[in-house]
Structure 1
Amino acid sequence: MKKKKEEEEEEEEEEEKEEEEEEEEEEEEEEEEEEEEEKKKEKKKKKRKKKEEENDIMIILVIKAKEQEHFVTGIF
């Protein structure tokens, strides 16, 4: 009787340990997914910022070209 009870307790403990391990693994996976999402968002932000900078440069170049054109033709 005692052996059976001890065996049952051991089995329960093992099951609890397994459940805890599974929960830990799931938490780790979730953390990794969150990190990946953050990296993607950061990458998008950098890409958007770079595009905005490129657009600003193009605007400046167009303005300078217009100024040069006016200077050469004498028309403002």
Structure 2
Amino acid sequence: MDDVVMQNAAQLLAGYRQRRLSPVEVMCAVLDRITKLDPAVNAFCALDEERALKAASDSERRWLKGESCGPLDGVPVSVKDLVA
């Protein structure tokens, strides 16, 4: 399997549906990548790891019940700090 942080939204969602991936697993991989690379690239001015993991855990519970809350439930996103 490809590294989960390189998968697109459609691939992640298919993995969630098939229970090959979990939103928590993906979020942990994303946070790990940020931890490793951000000191060199300085791309993040704020990061709320606790909230991100809580959201991923909530998403995982919904997927396990077959009740995702929308078409991108569990797909990690980053928001540019110039966006209000």
TM-score past 0.5 threshold: no
TM-score range, shorter chain: under 0.3
Which is greater in Rg? 1
> TM-score of the superposition, structure 1-length normalised?
0.26
Relative to its length, the structure with more helix (as a share) is 1
